[in-house]
Chains A and B, each alone.
Chain A
Amino acid sequence: MSELRVEALTHTYSAGTPFEKTAIENISLTIPSGQFVGLLGHTGSGKSTFIQHLNALLKPTGGTVYVDGEDINKDKKSRRAVKNKVGLVFQYPEYQLFEETVFADIAFGPRNMGLEKAEIEQRVREAAHFVGVEEELMERSPLELSGGQKRRVAIAGVIAMRPGILILDEPTAGLDPAGCRQIMDNICTYRRESGATVIIVSHNMDDAARLTERLIVFDHGHIAMDGSPEEIFSKPEKLVEIGLAVPQATRLAMALREKGVALEGAVFTHGQLMAALKGVGVC
């Protein structure tokens, strides 16, 4: 339940050396409290650099990030405090697990916040519940779990801090379809029950189309497109031009339109495709 505002954010790596590289340039946007946002863009488009600014892991070389109206880079204290408000789950988060038990690992974040023991315990149980980690796993070593379970424990470790803004960098990368669905369901549950803002970086266009309310497309360190999934996927040609995939339903609709089938409206989910096909009397 936090509002995020970014003003003229610029980040240049290794400034002043021959390796200087501007990863993002002059990014401005506002994400209202509770919005479900998808970030799209191919590798090297600046997405990862951007999200690492949102909890002050990276210091901007230009511009300001505000969380609930406060500049998160104001001083050392605010740089630390923002980490409790903005939870960031990195790509392949299971590689950060280190404690002896699942419980202790999920409790690492709350412990760093300096909470009481009872409060920590309650938050750990709650977070484990959100991601569907069963009670009997809590005393096992996180290293013994399966890939999907590890991933969910790692996400629980961030959720246990009860962030008002939850950011996930490709949370489903490298998982099987069942694991992907489960993780996406967990995230949706957390969002519904906590009311948190969720920002998700994804390469899965079908998920992006189905779940999010707003899509932001990055290209070469700039925002190329910003709008609802309807708006974004009604211009599939632009996405293709940037080098991104479009959802399966959109791809099929594009192909049909090329063949002369006059489908109506934006098509990016299977339901919409079916409706559009019915509209022209195909089925």
Chain B
Amino acid sequence: MLKDVTLGQYFPGNTVTHRLDPRTKILLLILLIVAIFMAGGWVGNGLMIAVTAVCMIVSRIKPRSIFKGLKPMLFIIVFTSALNLFYTEGTPVFPGWIITWEGLERSAKMVLRIVLLITDTFLLTYTTSPIALTDGMERLLSPLKKIRVPVHEITMMISMALRFIPTLIEETDKIMSAQKARGADFETGGLVKRAKALIPILVPLFVSSFRRADELAVAMESRCYHGGEGRTRMKQLRFAPRDLWALLLGAALLAGVIVLRQFGL
């Protein structure tokens, strides 16, 4: 039941997108997000759809896995579109209706925007391993070290958190089974009773998480880990020509969308 978490899952592969430097991919995602928000008219939005579709085909990501990731966001999507649909003033679709042509257009664009945002983010996490992702983030944020932001520590924490999500899910499943065997009931009763029923799961889960964190800290220290200072890497990040091309293409796309916006397209 808990095993269906796909958010941020990585699908190993060997496409151009997979081989791009993680830093490039993060920067590209930022360019794409800005472009999505800059796209005003239907031509600009159409261009963004086309670009996202091409990216999906190039990285061999099946539409099905994107839909699966979109499912948890369904509520937000429906909510935003409803809000825009009912609260935009203009010419009614039929005389006397609250729904206007402007509202229809705006809510369609909103939905498109959210879906594109999520899809593009998934393209990044589907094609980049969590380790590569945090490595890339660390390198991109490293200028912040100058103003004493503990960039290495933050990214280390992120990669550890990602690493332990499956472990925690497995652990939760185990504890749930053990308490069910002792007659615990998680399915019936009102809100208060159900919340109370979680205590027998949460307490052991916390206890074991702290124990695990402790063990991990000792293991890291005994391997002489002492933070990011002077630490070398097994996988060096290298900027290849394809990274430059990808970034240039991204910049050109953003420029194009901005120009289109000037012409109201």
What residues make up the interface of A, taking CB atoms closer than 8 Å to B?
A: 52, 55, 57, 80, 83-84, 87-90, 93, 95-98, 108-109, 112-113, 143, 157-158, 161
Contact = CB atoms under 8 A, between A and B. Distances in A.
B177 A83 contact: no
Given A95-B204, A96-B175, A108-B200, A57 B182 contact: no
A199 to B, nearest CB: 14
Nearest to B174: A90
Given A87-B181, A98-B207, 6 more contacts: A55-B181, A57-B181, A95-B175, A96-B200, A108-B182, A112-B182
A80 B199 CA distance: 20
Contacts of A87: 181
A88 B200 contact: no
A96 B183 contact: no
Given A95-B204, A96-B204, A108-B200, A161 B183 contact: yes
A98 B204 contact: yes
Nearest to B183: A112
Nearest to B182: A109
Contacts of B204: 95-98
B15 interface: no
Contact of A98 (B174, B181, B200): B200
Interface residues of B, number: 17
Q: 8 tightest CB-CB pairs across the interface, nearest first?
A: A112-B183, A98-B203, A96-B178, A109-B182, A88-B181, A90-B178, A98-B200, A98-B204
B184 A90 contact: no
A112 B181 contact: no
Nearest to A163: B181
Interface of B: 174-175, 177-185, 199-200, 203-204, 207-208
Nearest to A109: B182
Given A98-B199, A98-B200, A143-B207, A90 B177 contact: yes
Given A108-B182, A112-B184, A158-B182, A57 B200 contact: no
Contacts of A84: 183
Given A57-B177, A95-B175, A98-B199, A83 B183 contact: yes
Interface hub of A55, A83, A89 (most chain B Cβ within 10 A)? A83
27 contacts: A52-B177, A55-B181, A80-B183, A83-B183, A89-B181, A90-B181, A93-B178, A95-B174, A95-B175, A95-B207, A96-B175, A96-B178, A97-B204, A98-B199, A98-B200, A98-B203, A108-B179, A108-B182, A108-B184, A108-B200, A109-B182, A112-B182, A112-B184, A112-B185, A157-B182, A158-B181, A161-B183
